[in-house]
């Protein structure tokens, strides 16, 4: 055995043992159409990657590549250290998948469905009943799936996806059409899987839900990777302002804010109920110090840029040329995307 081949390179910050999914310079072409161009990312064991982008950005194509359903035109995808293009390797990979629209045989029952997949995956019947109980489906296990609600079908779909305790779980819009309780349940189960070391990639438009449950985000635009990182690094990269709202301030305090050269320059709105400041991230600590020490204010709230704010920031850059008709504008838009993609790649390498 070549032991040297199993030793991670010193220049590689992450060993293959830690990396559950790795995409390196992935591109996918359909004739002249480029669905994906030079995509790079890592997902570690126990991490959740949020895959974001408008419809047509390349999210579904990327999931299919990870599953091995299609092959890349260029580059390599590794799952659990193995190239998914290798013959028969998919049989030995531990991957769970929940599509956006779960499709079952309506005449089957929940118990019959899970029993069927349990036999395929070599899972005991005890595990089936455990999952039915955990997912709140025990009482409905003998009902036909055609009678199941959207939420019940999603629960069953996730139960089927994790039946064999996968090391990698791919979720495509798992909370679309679900009520808040059902969505919270799915994220609770995802947190339990993460704690067990499962790597999760979730494609979603529900940015408010995924923000508190992700470790990193990968933002795609027109098939390019235009941003990647955790919430803190994305906030720094966009330099979007934080909003500080001053509540129930006295007339004297209001006057102090208005005459202070720093605070006054950041006033976004002023109403009888309070003042809202739009503060650059680099100046947030300065402003907070002024409010606490100089004005002695205590009744204020700080709102950092949300994942939705960050997403719209990048999408505005990507979509800006679409309202123009001049070819020069379109080429400028392409240059913007390429610039963002190159920056995202540099940050990934770093």
pLDDT digits (tens, 9 = 90+) for 45-103: 999 999 999 998 999 999 999 999 999 999 999 999 888 887 565 556 789 999 988 88
Q: Which domain holds residue 254?
A: 241-303
CA distance linking residue 205 with residue 121, whole number of Å: 31
Q: Are residues 141 and 267 in the same domain?
A: no
CA distance linking residue 349 with residue 342, whole number of Å: 11
Judge whether 323 lies within some domain. yes
The answer to whether 99 and 53 are in contact (CB under 8 A) is no
* Dihedral angle sign, alpha carbons of residues 133, 135, 139, 145: negative
Q: Are residues 214 and 331 in the same domain?
A: no
Least reliable range by pLDDT among 111-120, 184-193, 243-252, 313-322 = 313-322
Q: Are residues 22 and 76 in the same domain?
A: yes
The number of domains in the chain is 3
> Of 190, 217, 235, at which residue does a domain stop?
235
pLDDT digits (tens, 9 = 90+) for 226-283: 999 999 999 989 999 999 999 888 888 899 999 999 999 999 999 888 999 999 988 9
Burial of 75 (0-12, 13-18, 19+ CB in 10 A): middle
Least reliable range by pLDDT among 19-28, 37-46, 337-346 = 337-346
CATH code of the domain in which 265 resides: 3.30.70
What is the rounded average pLDDT for all residues in the chain?
A: 85
Q: Greater confidence, 331 or 163?
A: 163
Q: Greater confidence, 9 or 158?
A: 158
**Beta strand spans in 61-186 (E):** 74-79, 82-83, 95-98, 168-172
Q: Are residues 220 and 136 in the same domain?
A: yes
Q: Are residues 199 and 261 in the same domain?
A: no
Judge whether 7 lies within some domain. no
Q: Are residues 62 and 208 in the same domain?
A: yes
Tokens of 107: 């005449």
Helix (H) or strand (E) holding 125: helix 125-134
Question: Which residues make Cβ contacts (< 8 Å) with residue 266, sequence separation at least 6?
Answer: 277, 278, 279, 283, 287
Longest dimension (CA), the chain: 78
Q: Cβ of 19: how many Cβ atoms within 10 Å?
A: 20
pLDDT of residue 2: 40
At residue 14, does pLDDT exceed 80?
A: no
pLDDT of residue 11: 37
At residue 202, does pLDDT exceed 70?
A: yes
Place of tokens 């959740």: 48
Q: Are residues 71 and 208 in the same domain?
A: yes
Burial of 148 (0-12, 13-18, 19+ CB in 10 A): buried
Judge whether 12 lies within some domain. no
Q: Are residues 320 and 298 in the same domain?
A: no
Tokens of 194: 């993460």
Q: How confident is the model at residue 23 (pLDDT cuts 50, 70, 90)?
A: very high
Residue 256: closest CA among 246, 243, 269: 246
Judge whether 218 lies within some domain. yes
pLDDT of residue 191: 94
Question: Which residues make Cβ contacts (< 8 Å) with residue 347, sequence separation at least 6?
Answer: 228, 229, 233, 237
Q: What is the mean pLDDT of residues 151-173?
A: 93
* Residue 308 per-residue DSSP state: H
CA distance linking residue 33 with residue 26, whole number of Å: 15
Judge whether 174 lies within some domain. yes
Judge whether 145 lies within some domain. yes
pLDDT of residue 327: 31
Burial of 147 (0-12, 13-18, 19+ CB in 10 A): exposed
Q: Cβ of 231: how many Cβ atoms within 10 Å?
A: 19
Question: Which residues make Cβ contacts (< 8 Å) with residue 24, sequence separation at least 6?
Answer: 40, 75, 76, 77, 78
CA distance linking residue 257 with residue 265, whole number of Å: 10
Q: Are residues 100 and 196 in the same domain?
A: yes
Q: What secondary structure does DSSP assign to 252-286, as a single string? A: HHHHHHHH-HHHHTTEEEEETTEEEEEE-GGGHHH
Q: How confident is the model at residue 321 (pLDDT cuts 50, 70, 90)?
A: low
Helix (H) or strand (E) holding 224: strand 224-229
At residue 338, does pLDDT exceed 90?
A: no
> Of 235, 262, 288, at which residue does a domain stop?
235
At residue 322, does pLDDT exceed 50?
A: no
pLDDT of residue 350: 52
* Dihedral angle sign, alpha carbons of residues 343, 346, 348, 350: negative
At residue 328, does pLDDT exceed 50?
A: no
CA distance linking residue 143 with residue 107, whole number of Å: 9
pLDDT of residue 337: 59
pLDDT of residue 317: 87
Judge whether 192 lies within some domain. yes
Q: Are residues 38 and 162 in the same domain?
A: yes
Q: How confident is the model at residue 336 (pLDDT cuts 50, 70, 90)?
A: low
pLDDT of residue 294: 82
Q: Are residues 149 and 294 in the same domain?
A: no
Judge whether 37 lies within some domain. yes
pLDDT of residue 344: 63
> Of 235, 256, 276, at which residue does a domain stop?
235
Q: Are residues 154 and 289 in the same domain?
A: no
């Amino acid at each position: 055995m070549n032991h040297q081949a199993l030793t991670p390179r010193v220049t590689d910050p992450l060993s293959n043992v830690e990396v559950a999914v790795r995409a390196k310079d992935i591109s996918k072409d359909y004739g002249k159409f480029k669905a994906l161009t030079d995509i790079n990312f890592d997902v570690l064991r126990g991490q959740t990657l949020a895959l974001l982008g408008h419809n047509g950005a390349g999210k579904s194509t990327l999931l299919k590549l990870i599953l091995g359903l299609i092959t890349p035109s260029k580059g390599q995808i590794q799952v659990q250290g193995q190239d998914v293009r290798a013959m028969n390797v998919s049989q030995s990979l531990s991957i769970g998948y929940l599509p956006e629209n779960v499709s079952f045989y309506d005449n089957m029952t929940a118990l019959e469905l899970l029993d069927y997949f349990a036999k395929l995956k070599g899972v005991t019947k005890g595990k089936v009943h455990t999952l039915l109980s955990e997912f709140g489906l025990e009482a409905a296990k003998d009902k036909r799936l055609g009678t199941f609600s959207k939420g019940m079908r999603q629960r069953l779909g996730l139960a089927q996806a994790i039946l064999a305790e996968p090391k990698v779980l791919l979720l495509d819009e798992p909370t679309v059409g679900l009520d808040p309780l059902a969505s919270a349940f799915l994220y609770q189960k995802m947190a339990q899987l993460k704690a067990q070391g499962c790597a999760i990639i979730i494609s979603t438009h529900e940015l408010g839900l995924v923000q508190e449950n992700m470790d990193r985000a990968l933002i795609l635009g027109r098939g390019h990777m235009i941003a990647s990182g955790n919430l803190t690094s994305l906030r720094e990269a966009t330099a979007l302002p934080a909003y500080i709202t001053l509540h129930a301030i006295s007339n004297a305090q209001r006057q102090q804010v208005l005459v202070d050269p720093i605070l006054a320059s950041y006033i976004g709105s002023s109403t009888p109920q309070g003042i809202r400041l739009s503060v650059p991230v680099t100046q947030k600590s300065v402003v907070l110090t002024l409010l606490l020490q100089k004005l002695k204010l205590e009744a204020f709230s700080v709102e950092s840029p949300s994942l939705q704010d960050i997403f719209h920031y990048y999408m505005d850059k990507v979509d800006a040329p679409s309202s123009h008709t001049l070819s020069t504008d379109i080429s400028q838009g392409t240059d913007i995307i390429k610039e963002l993609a190159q920056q995202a790649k540099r940050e990934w390498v770093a």
